[in-house]
Structure 1
Amino acid sequence: MATVNLELLKKHVHADDFTDDDAYLQHLLGAAEQYVCTATNRTKDELLEAGGGDFPAMLQQAVLLIAGHWYNQREAVSGVQMAEVPYTMQALIKPYRKLVSD
């Protein structure tokens, strides 16, 4: 089960009018969710608990940003110079990061 539903990701990447990429988008959701879990040093269950049964809204947005980026940039290199929006991912993920292990 993904923490962000496929329909929301499809709207985010402007792919809500076709289904050809649904399996790929679902794969990206799972990978982005794992990225957020790793970045916060928390399990999916811990993050679901923090959000009362859902990922907190800030972490859902992080999943959308990561999955959307991967959908639009499918290769490891780009011919266009790109720059990260300052603090975007850190601002979304940092409040949920566990700094010490149990």
Structure 2
Amino acid sequence: MATVKLELLKKHVRADDFSSDDEYLAHLLSAAEEYVCTATNRTTAELLEMGDGEQLPATLQQAVLLIAGHWYNQREAVSGVQMAEVPYTLQALVKPYRKLGV
């Protein structure tokens, strides 16, 4: 279940003026949300409760957008371009919501 709106992701990746990638972008949203659930060790329902009950908290929405946007722009596992991670970006957004296991 996508809790971040497709329209928001389309704006994030600058694909809001065409619809040919909508199905793929929706798939990326679902996968990115699963990633956030795994990274926080929480269910979607738990994360929604931390937001307004229907949407994730804004910081986790931003994490989903960053992940899905990265996957949209880097569609292969290998790139010939040298890239560097922006320090603390994704980790800073997700870590405060992480549930520590016993």
CA RMSD of aligned residues (A): 0.8
Segments of 4+ in structure 1 off by > 6 A? none
Amino acid at match of 2:17: D
Unaligned runs of 5+ in 2: none
Amino acid at match of 2:40: T
Q: TM-score, normalization: structure 1?
A: 0.96
SS for the counterpart of 1:15 is coil
Identical positions, percent: 81
| Equivalent in the alignment of 1:86 | 87
Question: 2:87 and 2:3 mapped to 1: Cα distance?
Answer: 25
Unaligned runs of 5+ in 1: none
Q: For 1:34-73, list aligned pairs within 5 A.
A: 34-53=34-53, 54-73=55-74
Question: 1:8 and 1:86 mapped to 2: Cα distance?
Answer: 24
Deviation at 1:52, TM superposition (A): 2.4
Question: 1:3 and 1:91 mapped to 2: Cα distance?
Answer: 20
